[in-house]
Amino acid sequence: MAMTNDPDAMGIGDTGYTIDDLSAYLDRGRTPAIAAIDTNAECQALLASMERVGAFGRELLAHDVAAQPAVDEGRIAALLATIGQEVRAGRDIPLTSPDPRATLSVTEGAVRELVRAAGDSVDGVVVGSCSLDGDVMAVGSPVRVALTISVVLNGPVRELAETVRQRVFTAVLAHTELSVEGIDVTVTDVHQPRRRLDEGSAS
Amino acid sequence: MSALEEAGDGILAQRAADGDATAFEVLVRRHGPYLRAFAIRLTGSIADADDAVQEALIAAWRQLSTLEDTSKVRAWMASIVARKGTDALRSRRPADELDDERPGDDDAGPERQAVASSRMDALSAVLASLPEGQRQCWVLKEMGGYTYEEIADRLDLTPATVRGKLARARVTVVKEMEAWR
């Protein structure tokens, strides 16, 4: 054994530093440097061992992850059933009704879904967030639609973003009465295509 | 769902925060194995781990809009798993109980090493033999990468106690793993 567990000893390698001190020193990234530890062979050996088994730990976790069985579909279904009850409807967006006795509205959540679907319909694009900025509950009030997208790696970024903008505009115009002042598309990410575009059907 | 499977974590997390359960499902399928493996090491129990992961995912869905850096969604979900996992352990027994006892005991070491067929098996056995509090500190630090303050917060301990438990765990692990260089 190259170490001592005796707290009354003179510390590891007679440095006066205990196992606790060394362990904490390791976690501080060995800064600020303590010369007595850095120049002591026994301390260095112990620090190296602690570091080595820490790396084994991460290796073990990676090994565990790889060895996990296929996801439990029952648990996924239960999870989706639970979260599905917590629909984020958001604000109610009014629609004019041909019948004055009835009030019609569409939820903000539904409009976001519409926007996502319109953006996703562009090959090589995945929509991220989507927000409706403005007083959507007041008919005729100007509203801006802001969305973030991820585009396929090496895709024509500008062209894809512009196509998204047009499709979202068309969809929102067709299905809501929002007076859309502008559509802001921000490319925040790129992604690798899982399969070649020519293998999938064009949208 | 195939296009979503190509998307990065950040985009999916943003989308899930907006209420898209399908995007959330893609994240769950992508990171579920990691979260489960981490939870099993933390709790030492498959049943507790599965419960912790399920509860954590429901909590994550509810709190997604509070996540600022969406690209770090896996680490964020893991921290919720850690919280749920440690809650489960706490409710089962007081945090400090048994900590200085060693269920595995030192003289079981060589036998364990002889039986272990690989370094991974050996480490697995050492971790299982650690007192619960020490194992949690070690797993949260070495596998989870959390700070002493974060670990202390999770386990309802002081950072000084975490420092001590972690050091003792490290000594045992180093000693037991000496044969596996």
* ipTM for this prediction: 0.85
B109 and B22 within one domain: no
pTM of the model: 0.84
B116 and B130 within one domain: yes
CATH number at residue A140: 3.30.70.1350
Cross-chain residue pair B123–A56, CB shorter than 8 Å: yes
Q: pLDDT for B14-25, tens place per residue?
A: 999 999 999 999
Which of B17, B29, B62 has its CB closest to that of A129?
Answer: B17
Q: How confident is the model at residue B148 (pLDDT cuts 50, 70, 90)?
A: very high
Structure confidence at residue A88 (pLDDT): 80
Structure confidence at residue B27 (pLDDT): 97
Most confident of A137-141, B61-65, B117-121: B61-65
Structure confidence at residue B134 (pLDDT): 96
User: At which of B38, B60, B92 does a domain end?
Assistant: B92
For B119, the closest chain A residue by CA position comes to A56
Cross-chain residue pair A188–B28, CB shorter than 8 Å: no
B116 and B143 within one domain: yes
Structure confidence at residue A158 (pLDDT): 96
| The pLDDT of residue B108 is above 70 | no
Exposed e or buried b for every residue in A61-79, given b needs 16+ CB within 10 A?
bebbbeeeeeeeeebbeeb
Domain residue limits at A160: 92-191
Q: A201 and chain B: CB distance < 8 Å anywhere?
A: no
The total number of residues written for chain A in this structure:
203
Give mean pLDDT, residues B23-41: 96
CA B123 to chain A, closest CA, distance in angstroms equals 8
3-state DSSP of chain A: CCCCCCCCCCCHHHCCCCHHHHHHHHHCCCCCCCHHHHCCHHHHHHHHHHHHHHHHHHHHHHHHHHHCCCCCHHHHHHHHHHHHCCCCCCCEEEECCCCCCCCEEEEHHHHHHHHHHHHHCCCCEEEEEEEEECCCCCCCCEEEEEEEEEEECCCCHHHHHHHHHHHHHHHHHHHCCCEEEEEEEEEEEEECCCCCCCCCCCC
B52 and B78 within one domain: yes
User: At which of B33, B62, B92 does a domain end?
Assistant: B92
CATH number at residue B137: 1.10.10.10
CA A101 to chain B, closest CA, distance in angstroms equals 32
Number of domains in chain A: 2
With beta carbons under 8 A apart, name residues in chain A contacting B17: 129
A99 and A186 within one domain: yes
For A20, the closest chain B residue by CA position comes to B167
Which of B17, B57, B138 has its CB closest to that of A79?
Answer: B57
Q: pLDDT for A20-46, tens place per residue?
A: 999 999 999 999 999 999 999 999 999
Cross-chain residue pair B174–A57, CB shorter than 8 Å: no
Most confident of A83-97, B71-85, B98-112: B71-85
Cis omega (within 30 of 0) for bond into A32: yes
B157 and B70 within one domain: no
CA distance B43 to B91: 12
The total number of residues written for chain B in this structure:
181
| The pLDDT of residue B102 is above 60 | no
Structure confidence at residue A9 (pLDDT): 58
Q: pLDDT for A76-117, tens place per residue?
A: 999 999 998 877 888 999 888 888 888 888 999 999 999 999
With beta carbons under 8 A apart, name residues in chain B contacting A71: 28-29, 32-33
A63 and A96 within one domain: no
| The pLDDT of residue B163 is above 90 | yes
Largest CA distance in chain A: 90
Q: How confident is the model at residue B94 (pLDDT cuts 50, 70, 90)?
A: low
Mean pLDDT of chain B: 87
Structure confidence at residue B87 (pLDDT): 85
In-domain check, residue A173: yes
